[in-house]
Structure 1
Amino acid sequence: MIIAYSTAPNETIANEIAHYLINEKLAACVNLIPQVKSIYHWDNKIIEDNEVLMMIKSEKSKQQNLIDALVEIHPYET
């Protein structure tokens, strides 16, 4: 088993991503942890955002497919 972490800008999007990953059998379970404060560099500025943390539980054999799906469906640029 693996646990992957990703954030989403809000609960609606996190919920949509979680349902997609479960429906596609890329995750066995996704825990949504609301109200995570993220501080990061973006466009040469320090940004503070409230986000939702997704804790994604999956099989190691599905790791690359999970990563590929997140890159494809996630709204963030990186």
Structure 2
Amino acid sequence: MNADYRLLFCTCPDRDTALRVAETLVNEQLAACVSLLPDMTSIYRWQGEVQREPEILLLIKTTQERVEALAGRVGQMHPYQVPELIAVPIVAGLPDYLNWITTCTQPQD
């Protein structure tokens, strides 16, 4: 199986932002599915200080072909100065599910 599929991780500061990002990515066919994982705490260093903030994690399923456009779209609408967006290859999965990802992320002509 090839690794033409990606799982992206993106954190959002609140549910409204997470829903807006998720729905936009799916509506614009940049992602086949976005799962929201609530009630997460992130501890990170920002501008020289350690921060602790509640966040919502998005698990974004897409194809490698759509990652660049997806990243650009996230950058346009995300409230963070430096949003987290990390892509990892999906190296295996049920063929029907992976085919579904391809179908759902085909750009409209």
Equivalent position of 1:32 in the other structure: 36
TM-score by length of 2: 0.69
Runs of 4+ that moved beyond 2 A:
none
Query: Which residue does 1:7 correspond to in 2?
Result: 11
Q: In the alignment, residue 10 of structure 1 is paired with which amino acid? A: D
User: Sequence identity, in percent?
Assistant: 33
The superposition leaves residues 46-77 of structure 1 with CA deviations (integer Å, 9 ceiling, x where unpaired) of 00001000000011110100111111111100
Q: Which of 61, 66, 77 is the aligned partner of 2:70?
A: 66
* Distance (whole Å) between structure 1 residues aligned to residue 22 and residue 67 of structure 2: 15
TM-score (norm. length: structure 1): 0.96
Tell me, in whole angstroms, the C-alpha distance in 2 between the residues paired with 1:16 and 1:63: 18
Task: Report the aligned-residue RMSD.
Answer: 0.7
Q: Which has the higher strand share?
A: 1
Number of paired residues? 78
- The unaligned stretches of length 5 or more in structure 1 are none
